Structure 1
Amino acid sequence: MALAIEKDYAYLESSDRWRSLRAPWRKKALAAKTPAQLAAAFEGALSELHDDNVFLSGDGLPVARRVPSETDVWAAWSGERAMITAVRASSVADVAGLHPGQQVVSVQGVAVDRVVREKVAGRGGDGARDWALRHALAGPRAGSYVLGVRDEGGPLKVLEVTRAPESNNGAPILARKVGEGRDIAYLRLKNTLADEGLVMHFDAALAQMKDARAVILDLRSTEGGGSEDVVRSILGRFVAAESPWQVRESRGKRSEPDRVTPRGTPFTGPLVVLVDRWTAGEGEALAAGLDAVANATLIGTSMAGLRGRAREVMLPNSGWRLRFPAERVRHVNGTPRESLRPDIEVDLVHPSGGPGDPILYQALKLLEKK
């Protein structure tokens, strides 16, 4: 595992530093007597990278919840205050009463700054503290956990978040007409970018909406990874000629552009893409690609910021799989994909437009003008 990271991890700053960071975890791995102890040592070493696109998977592996694919709360430090900036709509965190703008005071009765300090152990800067905060708020894989939060100027509230069984039932894509004239196609992908069958459903939805003057593509539920083949297939419905859609770069190698070819009759009208912190991995790739090849307008918040194009390797003996970014990925304009921001940013703490979905509201407001 350690050698795979040292050899191919696209964001490794220094081999010597990586060896130093993993040294205490290597001792724990060598002393492990159970698979659980070995997994804890491996995950401890990987956590030193503070990269949510690096993780282990496999049968029987006692892993923590992944960010953002298995979490409902996004938070960041504002000075010395841990602030919630986004909560998934209708999630268990939403139901419990968490919302953007709240300050997190404690996790399971322990001061949040202490929890984060213990996770990063003084290593890394603000990015590492934000990473540790989001992992602290992820909660356990099952059961409930308690957060102490405070609204601006309000008293301390203790909220219990109870995990419920997750369901993946339902169609892979939601399609309907919206707007005052019901002439705008709204397509919402439901965390299905890994499903090759999505392409068929997407084509059917576009055909159903063929008379729409504009399309809103909602990628706010694409947190669970995906297939680059599916991404290219969707991109192909929005280009009239072969076009570069992203640029990849491995350590020590030249940049290489990826190109997409047209597929079917392209949609060439106004295109708006909705994004938020749960637009992750291939969801981010699709959003950035549509920005590059279809002049899409991105509306929402910053995305998950998962870095690079991932590779998966099988670890010997354990049968576990290690996933990590082996190539950096950039927008065709040179911007690192993880740094891409929406054209229209929506403040979820102080949203405009009244009750309802503030991101969708901004999309409809924009398209009604066109």
Structure 2
Amino acid sequence: MKKALVPSLFMVGTFMAISQNKYQKDFDYFWELMEDQYAYFDQKQTQWNKVKELYNSRLQTIKKDWEFTFTIELMKHELYDPHLSLNRNLDFSFRLIPNDSDAYIKVDNEKYYISDIRDSYRITEYNLQIGDQLVKVNGKNIQEIIHSNLPTSIENPDEEVREYFANLIFAGRHNEPRKFDILRNKQSIEVQVPRATPIKESSLLLESDIVLGDVGYIKINNSLGNNELINMFPKVVDDLKNTRALIIDLRETHGGGNTDVAKAIMGQFITQEIPYQIHERVGVERALGIKRKYIEILSPLKNPYSKPVYVLVSRWTGSVGEAIAQGFSNMDKATVIGTSMARLLGAIKCVTLPDSGLNVCFPFEKLYNIDGTPREDFQPDIQTRNYKQTFQKTLELIREKK
């Protein structure tokens, strides 16, 4: 009997070793990928070496693929970067921000307030207002929830870290309701809202209209990654060529996009080449000591629009949407109006971990405006208090210029 057990024990031991090696290989691959190529360590409180030490110990207890996914997800949150994402989520994962958020939470003196509401979402149908203090989520104190989710590698998390987790918590987990206790004018109010849902679902890449009788309006419906927009957008602009001004609404472009679409939009409003943005490959300098930094050029397209252009942005203008707004700010005819944007860091690349197939997208390039301002620090030419006010303010400005 003892002899018969030997092969079985050997097979079990071999299986466990293979399983652990599988996770260890991808764990090391992910950690080294970030170590070598993640572009924004200099802006983070994260101690990346400590992250490796802390989470490597978890691998010894991992038996299932979802546990490994959860480990990588926790490591991702150590960087508190909404532009770092995975192609898989678990039932209890936080929803993506800004994609799946319908309000923006800010920290003020250790308290958490709703500073903006996504006016095109159903959250407007519920009793929540800008200025409300967030006290509890699903019956638990917001301070306690944030504390339990803070990165383990950071000793004294600053407001940026806390704000990131406050917005994750407000967006909610996939398998949990969203019940909030808020404080308004010293009165406690309980509000339950569904997951972030648009008031109007649209399959259109963009929508256009005439407002104020002679002003063109184009709304981009989170389609900056769809190459069909490259041919569609110039045609719509041409249809509006006789208007006295044009509004381009980028307030719902949370999903980012690609540079070709961005250039097809901006190229419709210039008559000669202009600098667009500055790229910096941080990983190259980290590995070789050679700075890789270059200026990207924007080229004109046929039949450019010659009248004033107003570009609307919001907390839900993300990534390529932010780059487009920044690009328009360098044109004399354009005015960017709105709040701070999503402040998504840099340009991303996506890499698949070899064994698990988990796909990781992360910022590998820093991006700057042509004046050297980091894209995430860009502010609109005319700043508004919130999403809703941006459109109203734009109409006021156009009326004044008539």
The normalised TM-score by structure 2 is 0.84
TM-aligned CA deviation for residue 291 of structure 1: 1.1
1:247 aligns with 2:285: no
Match of 1:155 in 2: 187
Contact 1:239–1:294 (8 Å) recurs in 2: no
Instruction: Give the Cα–Cα distance (whole angstroms) in 2 for the partners of residues 265 and 31 of structure 1.
Output: 63
Query: Closer, same or farther in 2 for the Cα pair 1:165/1:212, shift >3 Å?
Result: closer
Instruction: Give the Cα–Cα distance (whole angstroms) in 1 for the partners of residues 143 and 325 of structure 2.
Output: 34
TM-aligned CA deviation for residue 96 of structure 1: 2.5
TM-aligned CA deviation for residue 263 of structure 1: 1.1
Match of 2:228 in 1: 197
Matches within 5 A, 1:79-118: 79-118=109-148
1:33 aligns with 2:63: yes
Matches within 5 A, 1:38-77: 38-58=68-88, 63-77=93-107
1:333 aligns with 2:371: yes
Equivalenced residue count is 360
Question: What are the ranges of 5 or more consecutive residues in structure 2 without an aligned counterpart?
Answer: 1-29, 286-290
- Residue 205 of structure 1: SS of its match in structure 2? helix
Q: Which amino acid aligns with 2:399?
A: E
TM-aligned CA deviation for residue 118 of structure 1: 1.6
Question: What are the ranges of 5 or more consecutive residues in structure 1 without an aligned counterpart?
Answer: 352-356
Instruction: Give the Cα–Cα distance (whole angstroms) in 1 for the partners of residues 331 and 295 of structure 2.
Output: 13
Match of 1:212 in 2: 243
Instruction: Give the Cα–Cα distance (whole angstroms) in 2 for the partners of residues 299 and 4 of structure 1.
Output: 37
- Residue 345 of structure 2: SS of its match in structure 1? coil
Contact 1:39–1:61 (8 Å) recurs in 2: no
Greater CA deviation, 105-114 or 87-96? Answer: 87-96
Identical aligned residues as a percent: 28
26, 41, 52: which is aligned to 1:12? 41
Deviations 1:16-50 (A, max 9, x none): 92111232222224532112111110011111111
Instruction: Give the Cα–Cα distance (whole angstroms) in 2 for the partners of residues 240 and 99 of structure 1.
Output: 44
TM-aligned CA deviation for residue 201 of structure 1: 2.4
Contact 1:84–1:104 (8 Å) recurs in 2: yes
Instruction: Give the Cα–Cα distance (whole angstroms) in 1 for the partners of residues 99 and 48 of structure 2.
Output: 26
- Residue 117 of structure 1: SS of its match in structure 2? helix
TM-aligned CA deviation for residue 268 of structure 1: 2.5
Greater CA deviation, 334-343 or 17-26? Answer: 17-26
TM-aligned CA deviation for residue 15 of structure 1: 12
Instruction: Give the Cα–Cα distance (whole angstroms) in 2 for the partners of residues 140 and 190 of structure 1.
Output: 25
- Residue 44 of structure 1: SS of its match in structure 2? helix
Query: For the aligned residues, what is the CA RMSD?
Result: 2.2
Match of 1:130 in 2: 163
TM-aligned CA deviation for residue 150 of structure 1: 1.7
Query: Closer, same or farther in 2 for the Cα pair 1:295/1:118, shift >3 Å?
Result: farther
TM-aligned CA deviation for residue 62 of structure 1: 7.0
Greater CA deviation, 169-178 or 120-129? Answer: 120-129
Contact 1:241–1:261 (8 Å) recurs in 2: yes
Contact 2:317–2:341 (8 Å) recurs in 1: yes
TM-aligned CA deviation for residue 86 of structure 1: 1.0
TM-aligned CA deviation for residue 235 of structure 1: 1.2
Query: Closer, same or farther in 2 for the Cα pair 1:62/1:142, shift >3 Å?
Result: closer
Match of 2:306 in 1: 268
Query: Closer, same or farther in 2 for the Cα pair 1:62/1:139, shift >3 Å?
Result: closer
Contact 2:349–2:361 (8 Å) recurs in 1: yes
Q: Which amino acid aligns with 2:351?
A: V
Q: Which amino acid aligns with 2:341?
A: M
- Residue 292 of structure 1: SS of its match in structure 2? coil
Instruction: Give the Cα–Cα distance (whole angstroms) in 1 for the partners of residues 60 and 320 of structure 2.
Output: 36
Contact 2:277–2:369 (8 Å) recurs in 1: yes
Match of 1:78 in 2: 108
The normalised TM-score by structure 1 is 0.91
160, 170, 173: which is aligned to 2:203? 170
Matches within 5 A, 1:276-315: 276-293=314-331, 295-315=333-353
- Going by fraction, where is helix more abundant, 1 or 2? 2
Query: Closer, same or farther in 2 for the Cα pair 1:33/1:194, shift >3 Å?
Result: same
Query: Closer, same or farther in 2 for the Cα pair 1:164/1:366, shift >3 Å?
Result: closer
Match of 1:258 in 2: 296
Matches within 5 A, 1:330-369: 330-348=368-386, 357-369=388-400
Contact 2:104–2:117 (8 Å) recurs in 1: yes
Bigger radius of gyration: 2
Match of 1:354 in 2: none
Q: Which amino acid aligns with 1:315?
A: L
Instruction: Give the Cα–Cα distance (whole angstroms) in 2 for the partners of residues 330 and 2 of structure 1.
Output: 26
Instruction: Give the Cα–Cα distance (whole angstroms) in 1 for the partners of residues 259 and 341 of structure 2.
Output: 18
Instruction: Give the Cα–Cα distance (whole angstroms) in 1 for the partners of residues 385 and 45 of structure 2.
Output: 40
Match of 2:12 in 1: none
Greater CA deviation, 332-341 or 116-125? Answer: 116-125
Query: Closer, same or farther in 2 for the Cα pair 1:247/1:112, shift >3 Å?
Result: same
Contact 1:249–1:256 (8 Å) recurs in 2: yes
Contact 1:235–1:289 (8 Å) recurs in 2: yes
Query: Closer, same or farther in 2 for the Cα pair 1:148/1:84, shift >3 Å?
Result: same
